[in-house]
Amino acid sequence: MPRNNELFERACHTIPGGVNSPVRAFRSVGGTPRFIKRAQGPYMWDANDTRYIDYVGSWGPAILGHAHPKVVKAVQEAAVDGLSFGAPTEAEIRIAEAIVERMPSIEKVRLVSSGTEATMTAIRLARGFTGRPKIVKFEGCYHGHADSLLVKAGSGLLTFGNPTSSGVPAEFIQHTIVLDFNNLHAVEQAFKEAGHDIACVIVEPIAGNMNLVKPVPGFLEGLRALCTQYGALLIFDEVMTGFRVGPQGVQGLTGIRPDITTLAKVIGGGMPVGAFGGRADIMEHLAPLGGVYQAGTLSGNPVAMAAGLATLELLSEPGFYDRLAAQTRKLTEGLTERAHAAGLPFCADSVGGMFGIYFSDTVPTSLAEVSQGNIERFKKFFHAMLIHGVYLAPSAFEAGFVSAAHDDAIIQETLDIAEQAFAKV
């Protein structure tokens, strides 16, 4: 991979760490990151023209596969009319209407440019609506890199955590309570101690940033009940899961309605985008109607709106999500079968087009359990797959993604490569 090495060395001269998002640097698995020059369907090609079956999918947005012709055409047609206006467009209304129509909890929606911007503003809105300072989040759930969210759990139940990033003063996170995912008892105790100061609970309803971790039965229901009881808002961070795991996200699968939902990734079809929405009475606290300020020069960018609208239209085809979920299960079940045949402790899980693989005997339910898996085996497996043309997330703490372009032949090729890879782990 001389060309990838050359580009990485060159990038390190002008870009911190040689990458513009940390996980791309391959630090957690070792080796040199692949510099991608093009992608089509289920495949990506790196700077050496080496082809990979891609299970990252731009971290979720490529649900149709890369460069779907209808999405590309929509982007091309929009770009001809101008790249950005800084003024309203009809496309913004159309995608807002599409989101409201599909997501049962959303009555009004504000478009932004990233998932971080969406979650950051959703929390500001929750504080402005309730007049309360504190928020509850869960260890292992990532909600973007806003200061108050870059925090690790403290040692005690209500011990406020420590910043997990330099440059974040401790006082910025003094109102952030960090608890264990799937531990409803801890949430109950937190509300008993500080319930009338808690503005919101923010959660990935199915976590994808500590690998794939599902909620245990009763956890999300319990969060909804506690927020209702104490007058706090429940925020579902569906940046990753929205339109990924089903036509209405996790809330469609569970029937649980949050007060605010954050979205990104799929709704932009691969273009930079984000959104947050919820009950009308909450959303009307946003400027220019209310006192909670948010603005963005590129919010509702017309090219991103075109990509998102084309994507959402294709996702509406009958049976799309059933087919996607079935292909994802073929992958996870096939990987598990081959790992066990090789005598390895291994398990896998999936929902919709998301999956997780774990070098452990049982599917984890928290960050602590994910961390107990055999990370060294994952690293060896990652590189054995990569060298034979399968691109997985370069971290044992990230979910994987299957697209509609991953047909039976692609899944079988992946499993054949995995059989060889497991023998080397």
User: For this structure, is 43 an active site residue?
Assistant: no
Structure tokens at 28: 């957690």
In angstroms, rounded to a whole number, what is the distance separating the alpha carbons of residues 179 and 166?
Answer: 21
In angstroms, rounded to a whole number, what is the distance separating the alpha carbons of residues 230 and 199?
Answer: 9
Would you call 107 helix, strand, or coil by DSSP?
Answer: coil
Are 277 and 109 spatial neighbours (Cβ–Cβ below 8 Å)?
A: yes
- What's phi and psi for 242, nearest 5 deg? -60, 120
Catalytic annotation, pick one of 108, 134, 214, 265? 265
Structure tokens at 403: 């697209």
Residue 192's Cβ-count burial label (10 Å; 0-12, 13-18, 19+) is exposed
User: For this structure, is 37 an active site residue?
Assistant: no
> Which of 314, 404, 394, 342 is closest to 63 using CA atoms?
404
Catalytic annotation, pick one of 52, 55, 142, 391? 142
Bridge-based pairing of strands 108-112 and 162-163 is: unpaired
Are 135 and 105 spatial neighbours (Cβ–Cβ below 8 Å)?
A: no
408-422 vs 320-341: helix crossing angle, rounded to 10 = 20
Helix (H) or strand (E) segment spanning residue 13: helix 2-14
User: For this structure, is 237 an active site residue?
Assistant: yes
Find tokens 């790992």 and name the residue.
339
Residue 47's Cβ-count burial label (10 Å; 0-12, 13-18, 19+) is middle
Catalytic annotation, pick one of 237, 259, 321, 330? 237
Which residues are known catalytic residues? 142, 237, 265
